[in-house]
Amino acid sequence: MHPRWKTPLTDLLKISYPIVLGPFGGGFSSAALTAAVTNLGGLGSYGAHHHTAEEIEAVDREIRSLTSGPYCINLWMKKDEPDFPMDEAAFDRLKTLFRPYFDELGVPLPSMPKMNVKTTFHYQVEAILRTRPAVFSFVFGIPDPTVMRALKQRGILTLGGATTVDEALALEEAGTDLIAATGFEAGGHRVSFLRPAEESLMGTFSLVPLVADRVNVPVIAAGGVSDARGIAAAMILGADAVQVGTAFLACTESNATPLHRETLFSKKGTRTVLTRAFSGRLARGMASRISEETSRHASDFAPYPLHGMFIRPLQQAANAQHREDLITFWAGQSYPLIRHRSAREVFNALVEGTEKIWNA
């Protein structure tokens, strides 16, 4: 074991390697992938923002049946969701925008949804308090002090996502134990919460050293780390660990569809875009016909979660009909660096490659 793997984060979590699996919300995480990364000596994570409290408890049981090591469950702070019943005018604008694609796939447009209170943060976090994962990570905000206290009382470590130095300082001030400094290279949503995402576009290379210089808690570099060079660089920049998303999303253990995983290896178009077209919130994925065409009418986009209510059924139909042009493939900017198809291969390549760089 190379001595440089030991950091304040590995000490705190009692893990061998400062390699964190990025959580994937929306159904892309799997208990198998989470447990695999923990069993390899890193910190496995599971994105649960779309789950009810009961589903979170079931996933927790599944992960515990696969590993006895520490893992992390991730939720979104959802205070900015629109109140239900939702804005009918915005819903109608989305209907007009998406109708041609639903017609093309021959599936019906969704009707006005009802609020599912069971997937609000308030219910979800109760499940976290009951199941007590080693780490609870959150993005898009900071839980209120009562929740932060309850987590601490139960010995659950907190990990918050920051996209700017100010967000990192706010997380530290609120007593967060670990901070994921997330550059705009990352796949998935831009998890900004103090200023609009468009005004919080820092790259990992700038963000990590700035955050590391200002906070006293361990810093995890997220965004663009897809091979060993990324780990070595992030640690030189002051990170105590890295959070790897896209490279693990491409593994057979993830819940991405086989087509999604294959597309991550295809290097067809190496262009990713930061767009609101995927969900209504600014997020990174591969450019596709659906994102390009709908982005021309961005003024008709509605905030999350309304937008996603059209994207979800559209994705189901597009996947069933193998219509790649209408699928939103989530990916970080560095996805063309991906080489490996199992969690073990990815993890070992990261560890061995980084040690090779350190020993050179």
Ligand X SMILES: Cc1cc2nc3c(=O)[nH]c(=O)nc-3n(C[C@H](O)[C@H](O)[C@H](O)COP(=O)(O)O)c2cc1C
Q: Give contact residues for ligand X (rule: CB under 6 A).
A: 22-25, 28, 47, 49, 74, 139, 161, 182, 185-188, 191, 222-226, 243-246, 249, 330, 332, 334
Angle at 74 between CA 68 and CA 77, to 5 degrees: 155
Question: Nearer Cβ to ligand X, position 91 or 231?
Answer: 231
User: Comparing C-alpha atoms, which of 230, 210, 234, 206 is closest to residue 220?
Assistant: 234
Nearest distance from C-beta of residue 49 to ligand X, angstroms: 5
User: DSSP 3-state assignment of 17?
Assistant: coil
Contact 47, 354 (CB under 8 A): no
Nearest distance from C-beta of residue 45 to ligand X, angstroms: 7
Q: How far apart are CA 223 and CA 233, in angstroms?
A: 12
Question: Nearer Cβ to ligand X, position 177 or 185?
Answer: 185
Q: How far apart are CA 66 and CA 32, in angstroms?
A: 7
What amino acid is encoded at 344 in this protein? R
Lookup: tokens for 175: 């007593």
Question: Nearer Cβ to ligand X, position 188 or 305?
Answer: 188
Q: How far apart are CA 108 and CA 102, in angstroms?
A: 6
Nearest distance from C-beta of residue 115 to ligand X, angstroms: 20
Question: Nearer Cβ to ligand X, position 91 or 138?
Answer: 138
Nearest distance from C-beta of residue 285 to ligand X, angstroms: 8
Question: Nearer Cβ to ligand X, position 91 or 127?
Answer: 127
Residue in this structure with the two tokens 């295809």, named with its chain if needed: 266
Q: How far apart are CA 317 and CA 5, in angstroms?
A: 45
In angstroms, what CA-CA distances link 42 with 38, 195, 196, 344, 350? Answer: 5, 32, 32, 11, 11
Neighbours of 350 (CB within 10 A): 25
Contact 180, 222 (CB under 8 A): yes
Question: Nearer Cβ to ligand X, position 20 or 94?
Answer: 20
Question: Nearer Cβ to ligand X, position 124 or 246?
Answer: 246
Q: How far apart are CA 356 and CA 360, in angstroms?
A: 6
The b-or-e profile of 268-305 (16+ CB within 10 A means b, else e) is eeeebbbbbbbbbbbbbbbbbebbeebeeeeebbbbbb
Contact 215, 169 (CB under 8 A): yes
Question: Nearer Cβ to ligand X, position 141 or 188?
Answer: 188
Nearest distance from C-beta of residue 111 to ligand X, angstroms: 26
Nearest distance from C-beta of residue 283 to ligand X, angstroms: 8
Question: Nearer Cβ to ligand X, position 91 or 158?
Answer: 158
In angstroms, what CA-CA distances link 265 with 37, 212, 329? Answer: 21, 33, 12
Nearest distance from C-beta of residue 236 to ligand X, angstroms: 18
Nearest distance from C-beta of residue 140 to ligand X, angstroms: 8
Nearest distance from C-beta of residue 243 to ligand X, angstroms: 5
Question: Nearer Cβ to ligand X, position 234 or 244?
Answer: 244
Nearest distance from C-beta of residue 106 to ligand X, angstroms: 27
Residue in this structure with the two tokens 């499940």, named with its chain if needed: 127
Residue in this structure with the two tokens 């986009």, named with its chain if needed: 301
